[in-house]
Amino acid sequence: MAGDAHDPVIDGLATALPRLWRYGLVLSGNRDTAEELVQATCVRALERSHQFTAGTRLDRWLFSILHSIWLNELRARKVRMGQGLVDPEAALVFDGLKHIETNIQAVQVLREVQALPEAQRETVYLVYVEGMTYREAAGLLEVPIGTVMSRLAAARAKLAGLNAEAGEAAAEGSGTHGKSGR
Amino acid sequence: MLRRARPRQKAVERMANPDDNGRSEDAILVAYLDGELDSEERARLEARLADDAALKARLDELSRSDRRFAEAFDGLLAAAPVERLNAMLDGVAGAKAAGPSRRGRGLAAIAAALALFVAGGLVGYVASQATRQAPTETAQAPPPGWRQVVAEYLVLTTADTLAIVPESPAVLSDELAAIGERLALDLSPDRLALPHVYLKRAQLFEFRGMPLAQIGYLSRDDGPVAFCIIANGQPDAGVAFEQREGSNIVFWTRDGRGYMLVGKAPREKLEALAADLAAHVG
């Protein structure tokens, strides 16, 4: 397709598309916006492909581009257009889950994560889903490591609490779940 | 700064006590759970956990937040619109490669392609990038009209783009209903059915803040044919013909909506199809 048969950025983009889309969906809670984010990420990555340092993780570089587009452009637009930010939980459940096999446990986890405030949600996603180290997540989000830590701590406290509130229904995910709650 | 701790829970009090680096105890405990403490810190914490029951209790409490996160989110990957994303990437990469000697042209093509996909700030961004790269070319040209943008976008659409759209009459019908609502038109598959070309998909875009529907057909002989409707509030205008970007275009305006039928199909064929659509839709 593209001129350079072995443009590493194009190759990397092609591989990363589903994960970029998922990241966009987690951020925006909206399938269409997720697609817009991926498209804009492709355009910018190709424009700036010369800035990519060979030997570093291309997917991380792409993630950081998507993150900054969301933060600086699309997110603001959504707010400005008065759509507000869709209730991410509802949107993800509605937009994402109807397309995947119903797995009660997975659905429960997605709901819990999407119900977190955006900064916590994104950090949880990068560290626990994408498997980034704290340092990598901090670099991508351009925040100090301490911020990553406090976001995760707040998110986990909330998840632990939600878990207790949700009672036995949500118990399958964690073996230690008891009746005590908090 | 010490926040006022709620009396009912010692753990909350602890949590609010930052360490030397400003990290809360919860943050340290979570980092421990995540294997993010260096060996020295870990040893220190483990020593404390051994004889601090409350700290240990807090750790246990926090560990209840363990989930199979990665597994849960794997399902979303399967929901990604992979075909569309790939087609989009091909379009963007192709547009970039198309004009290697004139960088501004490549960017303009990308901008045009994206203008249909995205709205508002993002278009502004892409446009501003294009302007930065090719100041003369973009600055002097008048902003392209919607038919030009659609025609440029169609350059990126091939028969394959539409062929890979799975057949799903129910989804299509829902999409059309939603789009029709935005345009205040009755867009049902019945009204849009055309002879010898197949209704494949419906998408809603925005062009300068105006809703723009693109209904994609696939003709076995002539490839993609797109029927586009924009709510642009323009005065009525009769059916006319033009060519842009190598495509034939039949267009008209009625009741504040602009219509166009665009594709590689011969003029006569497009005009016949357009008459059909005008009779049923606009």
Q: What is the pLDDT of residue B71?
A: 87
Q: What is the pLDDT of residue A179?
A: 36
- Please compute the mean of the pLDDT values over residues A12-22 and round it to a whole number: 92
For chain A, say whether B94 makes contact (Cβ under 8 Å).
yes
Q: What is the pLDDT of residue A103?
A: 63
Put simply, the answer to whether A80 touches B92 (Cβ < 8 Å) is no
User: Measured between beta carbons, which residues in chain B are less than 8 angstroms from residue A163?
Assistant: 64-65
Q: What is the pLDDT of residue B270?
A: 94
Q: In the structure, what pLDDT confidence band is assigned to residue B54 with cuts at 50, 70 and 90?
A: very high
List the 14-43 stretch of A: residues with Cβ below 8 A of B. Answer: 14, 17-19, 21-22, 25-26, 31, 35-36, 38-40, 42-43
Q: Where in chain A is the domain with CATH 1.10.1740.10?
A: 1-87
How near does any CA of chain B get to the CA of A146, in Å? 6
Q: In the structure, what pLDDT confidence band is assigned to residue B19 with cuts at 50, 70 and 90?
A: low
Print the SS3 string covering chain B: CCCCCCCCCHHHHHHCCCCCCCCCHHHHHHHHHCCCCCHHHHHHHHHHHHHCHHHHHHHHHHHCCCCCHHHHHHHHHHHCCHHHHHHHHHHHHHHHHHCCCCHHHHHHHHHHHHHHHCCCHHHHHHHHHHHHHCHHHHHHCCCCCHHHHHHHHHHCCCHHHHHCCCCCHHHHHHHHHHHHHHHCCCCCHHHHCECCEEEEEEEEEEECCEEEEEEEEEECCCEEEEEEEECCCCCCEEEEEEEECCEEEEEEEECCEEEEEEECCCHHHHHHHHHHHHHHCC
Q: In the structure, what pLDDT confidence band is assigned to residue A29 with cuts at 50, 70 and 90?
A: confident
Q: By C-alpha distance, which of B207, B188, B200 is closest to B257?
A: B207
Put simply, the answer to whether A1 touches B118 (Cβ < 8 Å) is no
User: Measured between beta carbons, which residues in chain A are less than 8 angstroms from residue B16?
Assistant: none
Put simply, the answer to whether B69 touches A113 (Cβ < 8 Å) is yes
Higher pLDDT, B136 or B191: B191
Closest residue in B to A7 (Cα) is: B93
Buried b or exposed e, range B68-107, using 16+ CB within 10 angstroms: ebeebbebbeebbbeebbbbbbbbbbbbbbbbeeeebbbb
The residue type of A178 is G
User: Measured between beta carbons, which residues in chain A are less than 8 angstroms from residue B9?
Assistant: 182
Dump pLDDT digits (tens) for A48-101.
888 888 778 889 999 999 999 998 877 666 554 444 444 444 444 444 444 444
For chain A, say whether B4 makes contact (Cβ under 8 Å).
no
Q: In the structure, what pLDDT confidence band is assigned to residue A162 with cuts at 50, 70 and 90?
A: very low
Put simply, the answer to whether B26 touches A156 (Cβ < 8 Å) is yes
Closest residue in B to A10 (Cα) is: B93
Q: By C-alpha distance, which of A74, A105, A118, A124 is closest to A169?
A: A105
Dump pLDDT digits (tens) for A100-143.
444 677 778 888 898 888 899 999 999 999 999 999 999 999 99
- Name the class of domain A101-170: mainly alpha
Q: What is the pLDDT of residue B226?
A: 92
Q: What is the pLDDT of residue B164?
A: 65
Interface predicted TM-score (ipTM) of this complex, two decimals = 0.77
Residue B248 has pLDDT above 90, yes or no: yes
Percent of chain B with pLDDT over 90: 31
Q: What is the pLDDT of residue A12?
A: 86
Dump pLDDT digits (tens) for B108-132.
444 444 444 443 333 333 333 333 3
How near does any CA of chain A get to the CA of B89, in Å? 7
User: Measured between beta carbons, which residues in chain B are less than 8 angstroms from residue A46?
Assistant: 92-93, 96, 110
List the 113-152 stretch of B: residues with Cβ below 8 A of A. Answer: 114, 117-122, 125-126, 129
Put simply, the answer to whether B77 touches A19 (Cβ < 8 Å) is yes
How near does any CA of chain B get to the CA of A137, in Å? 12
Q: By C-alpha distance, which of A26, A21, A19 is closest to A109?
A: A26
Put simply, the answer to whether B80 touches A80 (Cβ < 8 Å) is no
How near does any CA of chain A get to the CA of B49, in Å? 18
Q: What is the pLDDT of residue B98?
A: 58
Q: What is the pLDDT of residue A171?
A: 31
Dump pLDDT digits (tens) for B79-114.
788 889 999 998 888 776 654 433 444 444 444 444
Domain A1-87 has CATH 1.10.1740.10: yes
Higher pLDDT, B234 or B158: B234
- The answer to whether residues B150 and B254 touch, using CB atoms and an 8 Å cutoff, is no
Size of interface A-B (CB pairs under 8 A): 200
Dump pLDDT digits (tens) for B196-215.
888 888 888 777 777 888 89
How near does any CA of chain A get to the CA of B73, in Å? 7
How near does any CA of chain A get to the CA of B79, in Å? 6
Strand order in the sheet with B257-263: B197-207, B210-219, B223-230, B257-263, B247-254, B237-244
Percent of chain B with pLDDT over 70: 70
The overall average pLDDT reported for chain B is: 76
Q: Where in chain A is the domain with CATH 1.10.10.10?
A: 101-170
Q: What is the pLDDT of residue A130?
A: 95
Put simply, the answer to whether A134 touches B107 (Cβ < 8 Å) is no
List the 38-97 stretch of A: residues with Cβ below 8 A of B. Answer: 38-40, 42-43, 46-47, 69, 73-74, 76-77, 80-81, 96-97
Residue A44 has pLDDT above 70, yes or no: yes
User: Measured between beta carbons, which residues in chain B are less than 8 angstroms from residue A125?
Assistant: 69, 73
Residue B274 has pLDDT above 80, yes or no: yes
User: Measured between beta carbons, which residues in chain B are less than 8 angstroms from residue A100?
Assistant: 75-76, 78-79
